[in-house]
């Protein structure tokens, strides 16, 4: 997140070496922003359990202590969520990979459900080149590993969530820049908007877009 649009940094905490929490105020909107790096599939289940449990406890704690701050997570989850998972998961949209959901993907789905967090880059239909965030060294293989997760209020403000490939060219990385666009309400309307109660998530409608 660019600092130029942030009005105030409130505090920050590093949790367990893999998780960073920053509380900020963005144009009057209070956000608890988490950045995280999940263990890869090759790690032991105990290591994965520790990571997801730590992140889960941190989110529950910040919700309890600072309920006025809305949760936003941007993370390399090393998770693949495939089309096979769309339907039964309320916080998952239809924009998913052709690959089967892996263990980290299943953990991410359960985590999003337990914390009422929408998987934002699954909601907006995109082509694969605007969905895949990771490329193999040869560039022949790609998939989605990075995600934005957000509470209902932030989801309602989101207008798009997609990858911009060229923005990553100056950096030596096999990941691509994932962005989320927000349409922020005026300060006059913020109080009314954020006073709305969280609505129970419903499975997104199945919409399909063809690209040529």
Question: Within a domain: residue 211?
Answer: no
Classify 121 as helix, strand or coil: helix
Classify 111 as helix, strand or coil: helix
pLDDT band at 204 (very low <50, low <70, confident <90, very high): very low
Question: Within a domain: residue 202?
Answer: no
Supply the CATH number for residue 186's domain. Answer: 3.60.10.10
**Tens digit of pLDDT for each residue in 104-160?**
999 999 999 999 999 999 999 999 999 999 999 888 899 999 999 999 999 999 999
CA-closest candidate to residue 117, choices 85, 146, 89: 89
Confidence (pLDDT) at 1: 46
Give this prediction's pTM.
Answer: 0.84
* Residue matched to tokens 């089309």: 83
Residue 149 CA, distance from chain mean position: 3
Question: Within a domain: residue 206?
Answer: no
How is residue 27 written in tokens? 């144009």
For residue 130, give its domain range.
3-194
DSSP classification of residue 84: G
Question: Within a domain: residue 92?
Answer: yes
The domain total for the chain is 1
């Amino acid at each position: 997140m660019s600092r130029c649009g942030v009005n105030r940094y409130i505090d920050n905490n590093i949790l367990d070496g893999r998780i960073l929490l920053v509380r900020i105020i963005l144009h009057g909107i209070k956000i608890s922003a988490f950045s995280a790096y999940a263990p890869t599939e090759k790690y032991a289940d105990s290591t994965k359990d520790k990571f997801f449990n730590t992140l889960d406890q941190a989110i529950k704690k910040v919700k309890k202590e600072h309920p006025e701050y809305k949760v936003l997570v941007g993370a390399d989850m090393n998770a693949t969520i495939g089309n096979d998972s769309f339907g039964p998961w309320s916080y998952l949209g239809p924009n998913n990979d052709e690959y089967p959901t892996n263990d980290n993907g299943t953990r991410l789905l359960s985590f999003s459900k337990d914390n009422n967090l929408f998987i934002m880059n699954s909601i907006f239909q995109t082509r694969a080149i605007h969905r895949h965030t990771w490329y193999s060294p040869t560039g022949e293989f790609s998939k989605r590993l990075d995600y934005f997760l957000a509470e209902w209020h932030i989801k309602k403000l989101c207008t798009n969530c997609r990858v911009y490939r060229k923005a990553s060219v100056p950096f030596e990385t096999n990941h691509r820049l994932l962005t989320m666009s927000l349409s922020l309400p005026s300060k006059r309307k913020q109080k009314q908007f954020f006073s709305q109660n969280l609505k129970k998530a419903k499975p997104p409608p199945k919409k399909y877009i063809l690209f040529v």
